[in-house]
Structure formats: structure tokens, C-alpha cells
A and B are shown apart, each in its own frame.
Chain A
Amino acid sequence: MLTLAFRNVFRQRLRTALTLAAISLGVGGLILTGGFVEDVLVQLREATIHSQLGHIQIHKAGYSTLGRRDPYGYLMSDGRRIADLASQQPHVTSAMTRIEFSALLNNGRSDQPVLAEGIEADREAQLGTLLSVVDGRALGDEDRFAVVLGQGVASGLRLKPGDYVTLLASMPGGGLNSSDLEVVGTFRSFSKEYDDRAVRIPLRAAQALLATEGAHTVVVVLDDTAKTDEVLANLRGQLPGSDHEVAPWYEVADFYQKTVELYRGQFGVLQVIVLVMVLLGVANSVGTTLYERTGEFGTMLALGNRGRDIFWLAMTENLILGLVGSALGGALGVGIAWAVSAIGIPMPALPNSEIGYTAMIRVSPTLAFVAMAIGTLATVLAAILPARRAARLQIATALRRNV
């Protein structure tokens, strides 16, 4: 039966070619759409992580719920020690401390409320691949009384590198303190809202302004996003939950989560349309081929083959077609995905940012496997009804189709 099925497949070269084309086209289409959507999400994820969040953030316990109300009550006095501890974990490329506070920035004429961050400049430079300097230069570890401004802050207060500003903040113990700083540069990030409010100063300058030794956040950066959960578990094991909260990027990035869900919903609708098209295309092709062979099946019945034999012959043929077509489609999809990725699809900036990126098509083994499984399954399922029809043919009517 298998030999016969193979022979049939090879005998009807043209029909086989057309059906194979339908199947591999469908599988290839599924792989390309899926891979493209996957890439859109991965790009968004990496942009989110590398712009500000890092992979893992460590705070004093309670900071995420109550820290906004009483930021100075949640300073970690041993921030540097925890950062060093985190740096020793496998897969960790760097760990840095930050201090965040709201302040008023004054350019001599007017004030603007800003969100100030005290940072360890050189380590941040390793994380912030998407934080680009538009004017002047970035902060360095050697700076003492320097500040870099978000683009929106700089244009709002009409500041440029070389200008002097005053940063006014309230101290942990109460009372106000101010610091005169030199603007050394302006930056833009993934998020325009962030750029409209954020200024960054050296950690030491921030600690001097607030008269504290502590830090709010330890940001941990990994060499591979997929390792987040592993490192997270390690860190949680070493830092008791009663003292510290350790949060992965996906819990911190509310915007990212929602965007991903929405994207999945929107692309999901289109993917369903693609899927339906593929199923119908394959079913159409399989059905037509079997229908056109009515005369041949009549001959087989006349020669004494049973209906059952014809049914299973047709099913076996289509299983072979489905497997071969899916394999071809998989190769086609992966090949095109590879070629397209090598060239790259130029994309405009992510919403909220200024910098465009290059899209690729990311094919995971799961995606390729699912697409091929759909292709094979669709072919076999589509064959059931027409094969049953072929098995139940009246010999005389069927033979008459032989012209």
C-alpha cells in the first residue's frame, strides 16, 4: 500500500507539485507571519530592558508598594554590597545602584519638576544601549557636579551643554537642599515621557544632595534575557524576602506587559486569517486532486479493489504529501526568514522613541514545528471527506469519467 501510494504520488507529477505548492506555501506563510510577530515582541522586550529597567531590580522590602509615598524610608544602606553580591552570580554582566528622587530644576528663570536619578555612570553606560546622547556627552564616573537632561527637559527649560542649573530637593530628614550642577549633555531614550521628566546625576552628587549613603535600587543586567528566572531564583535564595524584594523586568514593566498583550491580540486576528487561508487552500487543492481522479478510482474498483483499500490509499498518499509539503514549507519558510533577516526590514522608531530599528524574522523550533504539524494535519484531514467519497463510488458512474 505504501509503495503504491509513493508510486501514485510520483506518477501524478503535476498534481503532486501543485498540492505540494499549496501545502508548503501555507506552512511557509505561517512560519513567516509567526516569526515576524515574534520579532516585534522580542525587539520591544529588549528595548524595554536595555533602556532603563535592567533584567532584575532589587529594592528594600515594601518599596514597590509604599516607596512612592515615603521614598527616603526605603533607602538600602548596603546597596553597594548587594550589587557586588549580585555581580558574582553566573550570567550577570553588571550590577549597579541607583537613587531616585523628585526635585525641582531651575534654569534661573523658571522651575520644572523633574525625576532625578543618581547613577553609577560607567556601569549605566553598559546597560543603556538605547539611551543615546543627542548633545554634549554622557556622564562619566569622574564627573562630580554634572547633570545630563532628558531631551524634553532640556528643550522645556531651554538648556544646552555648558549651562548651569540648580537642583532643589527635600532631604530625608526634612528640609531643603540644593546643588549647582553643570549640564554636560542631553539624552533621549525609548520613552518620550521619560525624556520629558528625567535628569541624571552622578550617584555621589545625589547622595551628597540628599545627605545619605544609601540607594533605592540595585539593577542587575544579564547576558541573556532567557536566564532571568534562573538568576532571579538564585538571588531570592540569597536575599531574604523580609529585607529585600527582588523583581524581574517583566513584573516591573507594566507598559511592556500591556503592549505585548494588545499586540498579541491584534496580530492574533491576522494570524487566524492566515491560518484559515492556509487550511482552505490546502483543503481545496487536496479535494480537487482526488475529485479529478474519479475515473482512476473507478478502474481500481472494477479490478476488485475494495472501497476501504481506496480510502486508505488516498489517505496514505496525502500523508506523504503532507509530510513532504510541510518539510518543503519549513525549509522555504526558514530559508526566506533567514534571507530576510540577513537583509533586515527597516522599521520606524518604536512608539515613544526616536530611533528606528531593523526588524527580522525570528523562527523558533517550536514555531517551525507547529507550522509543519498544521500543514501535515490539514492535508490529512482535508483528504478524509473526498477519500470517503472515492471509496463509495458507483463503479459504472466512476468508469464513465474515463471519457
Chain B
Amino acid sequence: MASLKLALRNLLRNRRRSLIALGALVFGVVALVLAGGFIEWIFWAMRESTIESRLGHIQVVRAGYFQAGAADPFSHLLADGTPEEAAIRQAPHVKAFAPRLQFAGLASFGDNTVSFIGEGVDPEAEKGISKQLHVNRGDDLAADDPSGVTLGTGLARNLGAAVGDRIVLLTTTATGGVNAIEVVVRGLFFTSTKAFDDTVLRVPIEAARKLLRTDGAHAWVLLLDDTTRTAGVLSDLRARFPKAKTGLELAPWFELADFYNKTVRLFSRQMLVVQLIIAAIIVLTISNMAAMNVLERTTEIGTLMAVGFRRGRILRLFLAEGVILGVIGGTIGAVVGWALSLVISAIGIPMPPPPGMDVAFDAEILVTGSLAANGFLLAVIAATLATFYPAWKASRLQIVDALRRAH
């Protein structure tokens, strides 16, 4: 306790040295918090935009649809108006319930005929789920316009169709016959996936049902009020609708988002490498500062020993100084880093448009509690360890040698 008090006095006495060491600590923690927070934000943004890119939080399908649905779509339909549908629609935290019907066929406009993949969707329910589907010409689907469809920009280009044109969709029905309807191009959309824009058109689900001469849907896509609730809602629904009994399969977004999972895996490794380099620089800078701090005080150490301080006590004294510096520097650093992150987020870091998009965006910095705690711990540990070696070395000096260091 006595050494703690003495350490505090020493720090206050050597005000300039303490401030410089503190500066190194604070900057280190701020840098770590900001770098970590920036990476955290990138992952957060990636996650949310993945969910909003038509995936939703949870998808409900008939068992086996994900594996075999493309080859045999009509035996994987979810029926309309079942008690399950009503129950899932009203489950807690479910913000939107969007049925979807998938089909493939040929679209004709003038002399051009192009194959397409169609999605029958509920225009209202899709609004929150398909935010990453940008309508850049004309309007999005509307519930009151059953014959208005939207085309991927690539598909529209292949077809040579523009907003307002009438096109004919031809497809195989549920019973194996062929059916065709005439629809109006209401709008064009683009997403981050070029292959999607090149093949997909969206129609109101009622029109799709009429075209396919069927009822029901292939998937019910659920949007929750909060992404962190996904696992809870999922296990709750799985318990209420066991796959064996109801034949329903529930899949959360993170099992469906192949691209997202791979990006996150790769990106976190890449970021980890950069973060390790940053952490190494920070630890070494702090160590450098702390070592210099002790070394410059060799004479002082000599004097202390000359008046009868024991080696162990000197070591403890300097360690206590290191810990105090680390705690203060870590705290200030975490607070300043957090405050800076708020300021930077409010201004935004301009980023170029992501692949497949035309719109640039502003990145932000998302500081989590664990991130700030890591920064704080790093400062305390680095400052303590870095003080230890030079203090130990200094405490081993011969008194005369240490005293002679004076300039």
C-alpha cells in the first residue's frame, strides 16, 4: 500500500514523463478501439444487408426443399390457410411474413425470348426483406397492380424490354400443362448479385399462382424485429412445429447465406492479420515508452537504494507506477476511443460502392463493451510487463553505478 502511495506521488512529481507515457497508452488504446470498432461495423453492416437482401431472418419450407426443390418444385409446396401458417404469422418478434413462390419459364418481348427464374412475392411483406433490391427505374411491385412485374436490369436488357412494355411469360403449370400470361413491366431492379439481375423477375404472388394454376408457396420468409433474436425464435418455432410431425423445415439466415459466411470467414482472417500487426505495434510502443521512463530514472533508483530501499521494494514501486499508468491510460483511452467513434460515425467514413452496387456508402465505427475492455486490458498488461524488465534490471544495479549515471 505504501508503495502504491509513493508510486502515485512519483507519477505526479515526474509530470512530464508521466504525461508522455500516458499519451502513448491512450493513443494505443484509442487506435485499438477504433480499428476494432471499424471492423465490427463492417461485419454488422454485412450481416444486416445480407438479411435485407431477400433472405430474411428465418425461412420456412417443406422438408427437403433446399436440396431437391429446384428439380421438383411442385411437390414442395406449403399449403395456404393452415393453422401452422397462422401460428407462425403471429409468433412473437415476427415483424413480417412473406410467402414466396418460385418458378422458371420463358419471357417473350417482340422477337426476343429469354429464359427466366420467377419469384411470386407479396409486395407489402417484402418491403423490409428486399431493401437491398433497388428499383432504379419505374416502381416496385404493388398489391393493387396484379399484372405489374419487376425485372432484373440484366434480364430486361437481354429481353430488350423497358418500363411500360408488355411482355409474355410462359411456364409449365403444376399439372404439367403450359400456361402463359401477359404482364406489364412496372419497374427494373438491381441487387449486389449480377447473376440474379440477369435471370430473375418478380411478380405479385397472386399472379404467379394463377400462372402456375396452384395455391400456396415454396417458402415463408420471416423478418424479425431484431437479428439477435433469431436463434431464440428459431428454437421456439422448431419446438412448436417439429419437422417429423409437420414436415416443415426451418432455416435461419446464417445457414442460408453461403456467400456471407464465406466472406466473413475470409474477411475475419484478413482483418485478424492486420489487427495483430496493430496490436503488436501498440504493445511495443507502450513498452518502449515504459522502458524509457524507467531507464531515465536510474540515478533516482541509485539514490533510493543508497537511502536503504530494498531491491524488492524498488521493483514493487515501479510496477505499481506501471499499473497505475496502465489503468489510467486504459480508462482514458477506452473513453476517448468510444467518444471518437461516436463523432466519426456521425460524420461517416466515405466508402466506395460495394461489388455489384452503384451507390457509395458511409462506414461507421461500432464500439462494443468487449472491445473497450480488450483495449483497457491491453494497456494495463503492456504497461505492467514493459515496466517489469527495466525495473528489475535497474534494481539489480550496483548503487555506485546507478548513482554515477547522472548527467
Contacts and interface: CB of A to CB of B under 8 A. Distances in A.
Interface stretch (B131-139, B262-270, B321-329, B377-385): B262-270
A365 B210 CA distance: 66
Nearest to A284: B24
Given A113-B117, A284-B289, 4 more contacts: A22-B284, A25-B284, A197-B195, A276-B31
A255 B266 contact: no
Interface stretch (B3-11, B93-101, B223-231, B272-280): B272-280
B244 interface: no
Interface string A101-138: 01110010111110000000000000000000000000
Interface of B: 16-17, 20, 23-24, 27-28, 31, 34-35, 38-39, 42, 67-68, 70-73, 104, 112-117, 154, 157-158, 160, 172, 193-196, 199, 258-259, 262-263, 265-267, 269-271, 273-275, 277-278, 280-282, 284-285, 288-289, 291-292, 295-296, 299, 349-357, 363, 406-407
Contacts of A157: 70-71
Interface in A287-303: 287-289, 291-293, 295-296
Report, nearest first, the 5 A-B pairs whose CB atoms are least far apart.
Answer: A113-B115, A193-B195, A156-B70, A351-B263, A261-B352
Contact of A273 (B114, B267, B278, B295): B278
Contacts of A285: 288-289, 292
Interface in A338-397: 345, 347-353, 359
B266 A349 contact: yes
Contacts of B262: 348-353
Contacts of A281: 24, 281, 285, 288
Interface stretch (A52-60, A77-85, A243-251, A262-270): A262-270
Interface of A: 14-15, 18, 21-22, 25-26, 29, 32-33, 36-37, 40, 68-69, 102-104, 107, 109-113, 155-158, 170, 192-194, 196-197, 254-255, 258-259, 261-262, 264-267, 269-270, 273-274, 276-278, 280-281, 284-285, 287-289, 291-293, 295-296, 345, 347-353, 359, 402-403
A345 B24 CA distance: 30
Given A22-B288, A40-B270, A69-B157, A402 B38 contact: no
Contacts, number: 195
13 contacts: A21-B288, A22-B285, A29-B281, A68-B158, A110-B72, A255-B355, A262-B351, A269-B349, A270-B274, A270-B278, A278-B281, A281-B288, A348-B262
A321 to B, nearest CB: 14
Majority secondary structure of chain B interface residues (helix, strand, loop or mixed): helix
Residue among A196, A254, A266, A287 with the highest chain B CB neighbour number at 10 A: A266
A348 B289 contact: no
B115 A104 contact: yes
A255 B24 contact: no
A349 B71 contact: no
Nearest to B112: A69
A274 B265 contact: no
Contact of B259 (A18, A107, A284, A352): A352
A197 B199 CA distance: 10
B282 A18 contact: no
A155 B258 CA distance: 15
B352 to A, nearest CB: 4
Nearest to B299: A403
